[in-house]
C-alpha cells in the first residue's frame, strides 16, 4: 500500500512561553495540536513551573535519574535541555502511541529563545495565568534545567 501525503488544513500558532505557567500552557497546546493545528513555542526556557523549588527539582531528578536495573537502555529518557523538557511534558498530554497523537506531536516545534526565521510581532495570545499571578514559589524551566545539570549558554 502506497503512503499518500495529506494536505495540512489547520492553523499555524506561534506562542511565547515567557512567564506562562507550564502545565496550563502545555494542556492548551496539546488541545490545539489534537485539533490538527501546527504549534511553535518560543522562549521555552522562560516558562514557569508552579510549586516549591525543592519539590520540583526532586521530582524531576527522580525522573531523569531513574534506570531499569536489568537493562538501563530500556529506561525512559528525560532530557535536561529546556526545549526538550517542555516538548516531553506536552507529549505526556497527548495520546502519542496512537496515530492521532503521533501526527499531533509531529506538528509541535519548541525553541529556546526566538529564532530569526520567526517574526516577533506575530505571536498568538493564549490566556493563562502568568508567573506574577501565582505565589513566589514558581521557578522557570531554565532554572530547573540548570539544577538538573544542563549548562545554559
Residue 4 has pLDDT above 70, yes or no: no
Bridge-based pairing state of the strands 48-49 and 139-140: antiparallel
Report pTM.
0.81
The alpha carbon dihedral of 69, 71, 74, 78 has a sign of: positive
Residue 149 has pLDDT above 80, yes or no: yes
Cell of 143: 532554572
What the chain holds in terms of domains, given with CATH numbers, is 12-148 (3.90.1180.10)
Residue 3 has pLDDT above 70, yes or no: no
Q: How far is CA 4 from the centre of its chain?
A: 29
Q: How far, in Å, are 30, 99, 103, 145 from residue 108 at the CA level?
A: 9, 15, 9, 21
pLDDT digits (tens, 9 = 90+) for 38-97: 999 999 999 998 888 888 888 878 887 777 778 878 877 778 889 999 999 999 999 999
Query: Which pLDDT score, from 0 to 100, does residue 90 have?
Result: 96
Closest to 12 (Cα-Cα) out of 91, 111, 130, 118? 118
Residues 126-132: what's their mean pLDDT? Answer: 64
Q: How far, in Å, are 7, 67, 98 from residue 62 at the CA level?
A: 41, 10, 27
Amino acid at each position: 500500500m502506497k503512503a499518500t501525503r495529506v494536505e495540512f488544513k489547520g492553523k499555524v500558532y506561534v506562542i511565547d512561553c515567557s512567564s506562562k505557567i507550564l502545565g496550563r500552557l502545555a494542556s492548551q497546546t496539546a488541545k490545539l495540536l489534537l485539533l490538527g493545528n501546527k504549534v511553535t513555542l518560543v522562549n521555552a526556557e522562560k516558562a514557569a513551573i508552579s510549586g516549591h523549588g525543592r519539590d520540583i527539582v526532586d521530582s524531576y531528578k527522580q525522573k531523569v535519574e531513574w534506570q531499569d536495573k536489568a537493562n538501563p537502555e530500556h529506561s525512559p529518557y528525560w532530557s535536561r535541555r529546556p526545549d526538550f523538557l517542555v516538548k516531553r511534558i506536552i507529549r505526556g498530554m497527548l495520546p502519542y502511541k496512537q496515530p492521532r497523537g503521533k501526527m499531533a506531536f509531529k506538528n509541535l516545534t519548541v525553541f529556546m529563545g526566538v529564532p530569526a526565521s520567526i517574526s516577533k510581532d506575530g505571536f498568538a495570545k493564549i490566556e493563562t495565568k502568568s508567573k506574577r499571578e501565582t505565589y513566589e514559589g514558581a521557578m522557570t524551566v531554565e532554572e530547573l534545567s540548570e539544577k538538573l545539570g544542563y549548562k545554559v549558554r
